[in-house]
Structure 1
Amino acid sequence: MDDITVVIPVYNQAFPLSLTLHGFTQQETPYNKVPIIVVDDGSTEPVEAIVETYANELNIQYISIPQGGRSRARNRGIEQIKDGLIIFNDADRIPRQNFIKSHYETYKKLGNNYIIVGQVRDLYLAEQQNRKHILDRFYHKKGDRIPQYCRLVYSLYSDEGTTDSQIAWLSMFSGNLSISKSLLNQVGNFDEGFKEWGFEHFELGFRAHLNGAKFYYQKEAQNVHLAHPRRLNNYIDSMKNSHDYFYKKHNMEVVRHLLDFMLGKLSLEELDQISRHGHTLENQLVKKSFVKITNF
């Protein structure tokens, strides 16, 4: 199949990458032969050796670049692709068996102007380096769940996967996402000005939204994130820096209030009102759903 390509950016994470690539060997035929581009963002771990172990099982290409961040790594992958659907999958996210098929069939049904959001699931592990234990839990679906933030933004979609929300770009997770090359040609690639965690995927989604792109949630396109602890204070500082860059680029009310939403100070419903009206509506009985910062 020559109109699908998977792009996997990686910085170190050699062990999770080995599990993720294993997941791609288990895709339904003929999707197990879809081209995969692994972009190594200046790793010090033996990423190339991991890729080489799958050279006979997968249609895989390895690219090494000097460390420049996730946006640059994804963009180097995009630059190798002429047309068709690009599926983004992070190095620590094991795809379920129908992952590629679900993204691709949705793309063929909807066309080039849709961004397809897959279902993100988290698996928290006590034994981070035990391959047999991890794959046993993955295959038997033991303990993986949709993270709180994802559940929140998936509520913007109908049961059929459609949405008319003006903030659906909040569900644009580059760890499980597909977008056509023609749409990227129209709106541009990931902004390499984002250097710290977060928001480069939201900003691309926001740009696509401003250019009339539509969003679709395909809950069957699942991958499982091998979750790891995060240092909360550093995480918040990174979000603040990324938001500052985002807002300087898009000086709009909904972007100005994005950080308050991400820090749990503003509800999803209030942010939606701001996106539609430029402000929240007073004295209105609306449900209020808040992000829990510890659940990222």
Structure 2
Amino acid sequence: MISVIVPTHNRRTLLEKKLRGLETQAGEFEVIVVADGCTDDTLTFLQDYHPPYPLQVLQTGQGYGQGLGAANARNQGAKAARGDLLLFSDDDVMPKAGWIEAHRRAHTHPRTVAVGRLILPPELRGSGAAELKGPRVFWWHVTGNNTSMPKALFEEVGGYDPAFSAYGGEDSDLGYRLMRAGMRLVFVREAVALHEAPEHRTRAVQKARQAGAAHVRVWQKHGDPRIAWALGVHPTLLAVKMALLPSLKGLLGGRGDYELAFAWGAWEALEASKNTRT
């Protein structure tokens, strides 16, 4: 059985859309919703919601008013999962028909980590939001949007690192550790999901800055220079970005502001770490 793990924080409308969409999925599966510090009507909706599939509802957060982050929420969902396979998918990711079965079919070999196709609505393309069409995938494409893996493998590598409690970093950290553990990474074109990415453009740029800083922390945690190059936070690469992007970002369209914000966040994190060491 597949356990679909959905962390959520104060986005009841999106969560309801996702859960009702899952009602049409075929196959044997359960859904585990982890309400992380929700203060809106998410819990009220979940109490009254009775889907055709098994549903577990967990609550995390300090007094249920302050979330502990997606990494911790996903870990709690994984602990409660009854399935042999974990399928991580955030509340703003809407699966298409056959999504669960496509992930199930991908696990014909041990230690497989399956990454599905992630698409954006037309109005968000080029905005800097994540889109993955394949066919090549790498460890940094392992995210909580559309990824499945054996529960045993997830537990073997220690799950998500809850130290990444702010936005960003937890996915690439997990992907790197799965790569080191010898995962068999596959792209599943038929496992299609739409990433609605509902944030306002200003918020998306803020998140890009946070992601830059978080990726620096992933590199510093493991000390592998390959991480810095793969995630775009190597000091040499950042120096080039900081020199060129302010004047050339317009050539990148909507993605230019995102790329510059990411570089700024990474640069600031590097400078802060230098000051800490001195």
Note whether the superposition's TM-score is higher than 0.5.
Answer: yes
Structure 2 residue 236 is the aligned partner of structure 1 residue 241: no
Question: C-alpha offsets along residues 233-277 of structure 1, whole Å, 9 cap, x if unaligned?
Answer: 4223312321232122110111223443699x58xxxxxxxxxxx
In the alignment, what sits opposite 1:57?
52
Q: Is the 8 A contact 1:103 1:218 kept in 2?
A: yes
Question: C-alpha offsets along residues 209-239 of structure 1, whole Å, 9 cap, x if unaligned?
Answer: 0111120000111111222234354223312
Letter matched to residue 101 of structure 1: E
Letter matched to residue 156 of structure 1: R
How do residues 130-149 of structure 1 correspond to structure 2 at under 5 angstroms?
Answer: none
Aligned match of 2:31 in 36, 39, 57? Answer: 36
**Runs ≥4 in structure 1, deviation > 4 angstroms?**
292-296
In the alignment, what sits opposite 1:106?
106
Structure 2 residue 136 is the aligned partner of structure 1 residue 156: yes
Letter matched to residue 46 of structure 1: D
In the alignment, what sits opposite 1:84?
84
In the alignment, what sits opposite 2:12?
14
Question: C-alpha offsets along residues 24-83 of structure 1, whole Å, 9 cap, x if unaligned?
Answer: 00112x34xx21110000011111222234314331111111120000000010111255
CA distance in 1, matches of 2:118, 2:132: 9
Structure 2, unaligned runs of 5 or more:
62-66, 239-254, 260-278
State TM-score, norm by structure 1: 0.71
In the alignment, what sits opposite 2:156?
186
When residues 36 and 293 of structure 1 are mapped into structure 2, their CA distance, relative to the original with a 3 A threshold, is farther
Deviation, structure 1 residue 155? 4.8
Q: Counterpart of 1:35 in 2: which secondary structure?
A: strand
The Cα RMSD (Å) is: 2.9
Deviation, structure 1 residue 195? 2.2
Structure 2 residue 43 is the aligned partner of structure 1 residue 48: yes
Question: C-alpha offsets along residues 118-139 of structure 1, whole Å, 9 cap, x if unaligned?
Answer: 11112266xxxxxxxxxxxxxx
Q: Is the 8 A contact 1:118 1:221 kept in 2?
A: yes
CA distance in 2, matches of 1:196, 1:262: 21
Q: Counterpart of 2:212 in 1: which secondary structure?
A: helix
Letter matched to residue 84 of structure 1: D
CA distance in 1, matches of 2:234, 2:17: 30
Deviation, structure 1 residue 144? 8.6
Higher helix share: 2
Q: Counterpart of 2:53 in 1: which secondary structure?
A: coil
Letter matched to residue 110 of structure 1: H
Q: Counterpart of 1:110 in 2: which secondary structure?
A: coil
In the alignment, what sits opposite 1:211?
181
How do residues 252-291 of structure 1 correspond to structure 2 at under 5 angstroms?
Answer: 252-260=224-232
In the alignment, what sits opposite 1:278?
none
CA distance in 2, matches of 1:47, 1:241: 30
The farther-off stretch of 173-182 and 50-59 is 50-59
Q: Counterpart of 1:37 in 2: which secondary structure?
A: strand
